[in-house]
Structure 1
């Protein structure tokens, strides 16, 4: 059985890999489990509160109970955080249903999308695209290190022509926060 067949068998037949990207995860978002747990708790709390209010009124039925369960599950789906992982020369963002992956050493553009929630948008030569909150990189220096290493390779090879400004601003922010944390832990701040 070949590598691709093994991956399909292991993941239920739905594997989307960028050619040449190994599957070994080197770093991941350490706050993801906490955020996922919070999503579950919020969904359970809302569904449970609605069901409890219905029981208190004495008007609960199977269809109404099912409706409250669907509302709770919908809230979990809306609040579910994307999971950011990196490996050797790749970065993946897994949402509720799909995973998107880019080759960090083959990046062509890095953009920062500001809006209600700021997003970092990465695109590689194959047209693959990922989008995630840049706070994930600030909270996980190892993720930032792997992304920065790949982006430097892409810049050195001449592929990354658009994105020096967002990466520089992000590097300054992450380095500044790291220095403040280090000073605070040493008792110098």
Structure 2
């Protein structure tokens, strides 16, 4: 209900927020993978005749660990903010107060957003490319940051992401219309 004073938040209005539409299916997939692993290990161990309570707990623990690893962060955005919820914490960055946007390369590419309060959110850019409504809110906030002169690092990253979102949106539209 209440939020810290360091992170003021515009009021949530139904028409001013969006969330990752694919989060539910990703959560279901993570749950099914974890349950499948635990079930399969228990079944194989039981068929071998070596299943005991400690081993069953071990298999359940491995399934739970896989669930924690695969648990997808839930991403939401509104007028001037982007929020990411994981199992352990929630972070909300002010997109209208961004000071940097950077690409992080590694096994999978990540996008790091940081606002003038020092709050950082690291997310998979595919969340934004698959959800144009999320991207529009983030982009509008980033444009406000540029207008205010706050965004010192990240204009190139935002342009690259914008091209990706436009490309993905065009690809989806062509597929839906039957042109591709």
Query: What are the superposed Cα offsets for residues 36-79 of structure 1, whole Å, 9 maximum, x if unpaired?
Result: 11111111011001111111111211111111100100000011
3-state SS, counterpart of residue 34 of structure 1? helix
Q: Which runs of structure 2 are paired with 1:39-118 in the superposition (5 Å)?
A: 39-118=30-109
Q: Which residue of 2 aligns with 1:20?
A: 8
Q: Which residue of 2 aligns with 1:131?
A: 122
Could you tell me how far 1:115 is from its partner in structure 2? 1.2
Could you tell me how far 1:139 is from its partner in structure 2? 0.2
Could you tell me how far 1:22 is from its partner in structure 2? 3.8
Q: Which residue of 1 aligns with 2:28?
A: 37
Q: Contact conserved, 1:16 with 1:99, CA < 8 A, in 2?
A: no
3-state SS, counterpart of residue 88 of structure 2? coil
Alpha-carbon distance change, 85 to 16 in structure 1, aligned in 2, over 3 angstroms: farther
Tell me the distance in 1 between the aligned counterparts of 2:121 and 2:5. Answer: 13
> 5+ unaligned residues in a row in structure 1: which ranges?
5-14
Tell me the distance in 1 between the aligned counterparts of 2:88 and 2:52. Answer: 31
**How many residue pairs align between the two structures?**
177
Could you tell me how far 1:179 is from its partner in structure 2? 2.2
Tell me the distance in 2 between the aligned counterparts of 1:111 and 1:74. Answer: 30
Tell me the distance in 2 between the aligned counterparts of 1:103 and 1:16. Answer: 13
TM-score, length-scaled by structure 1: 0.88
Query: What are the superposed Cα offsets for residues 100-147 of structure 1, whole Å, 9 maximum, x if unpaired?
Result: 110000000000111110000000000000000000000000000000
TM-score, length-scaled by structure 2: 0.92
> 5+ unaligned residues in a row in structure 2: which ranges?
none
Could you tell me how far 1:16 is from its partner in structure 2? 6.3
Alpha-carbon distance change, 31 to 17 in structure 1, aligned in 2, over 3 angstroms: farther
The two structures, once aligned, show a CA RMSD in angstroms of 1.7
Q: Which residue of 1 aligns with 2:169?
A: 178
